[in-house]
Each structure stands twice: as C-alpha cells, then as structure tokens.
Amino acid sequence: MAEPHLLELENLSKYYGNIIALKGVSTYVNAGEVTCVLGDNGAGKSTLIKILAGAHQQSEGSIRLNGEEVRFDSPRDALGSGIATVYQDLAMVPLMSVWRNFFLGSEPTKALGPLKWIDKSKAKSIARDELLKMGIDIRDTEQPVGTLSGGERQSVAIARAGYFGAKVLILDEPTSALGVKQSGVVLKRIVEARNQGLAVIFITHNPRHAYPVGNRFLILNRGLSMGSFAKEEISIDDLTQLMAGGAELQALEHELEAAGAITHADMTTVTD
C-alpha cells in the first residue's frame, strides 16, 4: 500500500453565502517537495491559504495530514499540527533586532529559583546558526531586522518556521514585492527548505518563479482548479497559458487587434 501524502487536499470548497470562493480543489505536497499554487488576483489563493492556516474552515472537502483527516478550528490548531504560514507582511517588527524577531516571545530562558530571564547569548547563537543553514551570514544579530533586504527578511521568516517545528511551510507571495535579485535569494531559500525535508506550498502569480523550484503545480482561476500537475506533465509555456487563461488571452488579443491598439506580433511578445 502506498504511503499517504504528508498533506493532501480533496475537493476543497469554500462558500460565502451564494459566493463561490473556492470549488473542488485537490492537490498534495510531500516532505522534501514544493507544490506551487498559481493564479491571478481573485483566483482563490488567499482563501486556500486561510483554510490551510486555520483562519477559515472549508465548506466542503477534506484535508488529510499523514493520511488522517484534520479540520483546523484556529491558526493555533494548524500551527500545532506543523503547518506554518509566512504571510507577505512577515509579522516582523522593523526596529527590533534580528534575534528578537526570530523568536518573538518564544526566547530560550535561564532560571534561578523563581526568577527567569531571556538567555540572550543562546538566542543569538540559535538565530545565527539557523540563518546560516539558510545561507544567510549575519554577524551581528543585534541589528534591526528592518536593515535587512526584503529577501533576507523572507529568509529569517522561513528559517524561523523551520526551527519551530513546521512540517509544512506555506509561503504567501514571497517574491511579489521583490526585484529580480532578491526574488532569486528567496527562491534559493525555498529550495534549501525543501532540501531540509520541509513540504513547501509556494503561493505565487509568477510562473517563472514557480517552475524552477516546483515539483507540482496547482492552477486556480476564479476559485476553480484548472488542474494539478507534476512537473514532468506540464511545460512552463503550458503553465503560463493555463494560469493566464488561454481563451481569455485570445479574446483580449482579438479585441485589441480589432481596435487597432496592437498587432499580433505585439501580443506574441507580451505572452512570451
């Protein structure tokens, strides 16, 4: 009998009254793999994140963790089950030091009788070592986290999640506000997290960021699944076409050509 997937979604749906936010979404992710969830604004990516993070509950369908069905009533439930979500805002305090942001209230402590205090040297050492594992060499963990680049701050958040026992790491558009170089830094961290045995769900609207690091691709369009594909089953061109909506692109092309705004060659350049 085949081993169950670490995290599996089956026919996941979410309704808000008569509004269908998500319908019939199925995919999975295993340890040491990256499943990329792609879609434009309004595709249902945020709804999926909220369900997996325990902020919302699905209306239909099931979530299985190591083959056992689970239902998260709160973000604490999801985190306690080993599912950590790194949101775009990163939940960091810019003026606070790197090591304090790494622990955020869960610092190691020393005790003498009834007295307890933060073990600063241990906390700094752990933060430095964990960041080194992610390829970030920070000599002074006292520096404010706001002085780091966007890619480095994402790396701190990823390292933090792994240290605190995450088995599944959900990354919410981690490269959306970054330039080419810093996006490359984050993509390297995703690969490193995968190589350390984490199951990663990478939420993005950029197929060219997803394809190099992904093992599986789930494409969403207006809350509906356009399919879940292994890397060997889909090319980056097909992935881009599916995500953008081939029929919609063709309709837009004909409309713009009819209006005299563009030529066919212009549209080919855009889609390439």
Report the CATH number that the domain containing residue 56 is assigned in CATH: 3.40.50.300
Instruction: Kindly state whether residue 14 falls inside one of the protein's structural domains.
Output: yes
User: How high is the pLDDT of residue 265?
Assistant: 52
Q: Give which of 49, 128, 33 is closest to 84, Cα–Cα.
A: 49
One domain, residues 76 and 171: yes
CA atoms within 13 A on the CB side of 198: 28
One domain, residues 158 and 206: yes
pLDDT tens digit sequence for 145-202: 999 888 888 888 888 888 998 999 999 998 888 888 888 888 998 998 999 899 999 9
φ/ψ of residue 181, rounded to 5: -65, -45
Q: What is the mean pLDDT of residues 129-145?
A: 86
User: How high is the pLDDT of residue 261?
Assistant: 56
One domain, residues 168 and 229: yes
One domain, residues 189 and 217: yes
One domain, residues 255 and 160: no
One domain, residues 182 and 140: yes
pLDDT over threshold 80, residue 92: yes
One domain, residues 88 and 212: yes
pLDDT over threshold 50, residue 270: no
Instruction: Kindly state whether residue 239 falls inside one of the protein's structural domains.
Output: no
pLDDT tier for residue 271 given thresholds of 50, 70 and 90: very low
One domain, residues 81 and 180: yes
User: How high is the pLDDT of residue 267?
Assistant: 45
Q: What is the mean pLDDT of residues 7-23?
A: 94
Instruction: Kindly state whether residue 249 falls inside one of the protein's structural domains.
Output: yes
Instruction: Kindly state whether residue 240 falls inside one of the protein's structural domains.
Output: no
Q: What is the mean pLDDT of residues 38-58?
A: 92
pLDDT over threshold 70, residue 33: yes
One domain, residues 257 and 168: no
Residue 91 vs residue 68, higher pLDDT: 68
One domain, residues 71 and 142: yes
pLDDT over threshold 60, residue 69: yes
pLDDT over threshold 70, residue 252: no
Q: What is the mean pLDDT of residues 96-106?
A: 91
Q: Give which of 25, 69, 60 is closest to 43, Cα–Cα.
A: 25
In whole angstroms, give the CA distance from residue 166 to residue 135.
Answer: 19
State the total domains in the chain: 2
One domain, residues 163 and 252: no
Mean pLDDT of the chain: 87
One domain, residues 11 and 75: yes
Instruction: Kindly state whether residue 2 falls inside one of the protein's structural domains.
Output: no
What is the residue range of 71's domain?
A: 7-234
List residues bridging with 117 in a β-sheet. 110
Cβ neighbours for 7, distance < 8 A, ≥ 6 positions apart: 28, 29, 52, 63, 64, 65, 83, 168, 199, 201
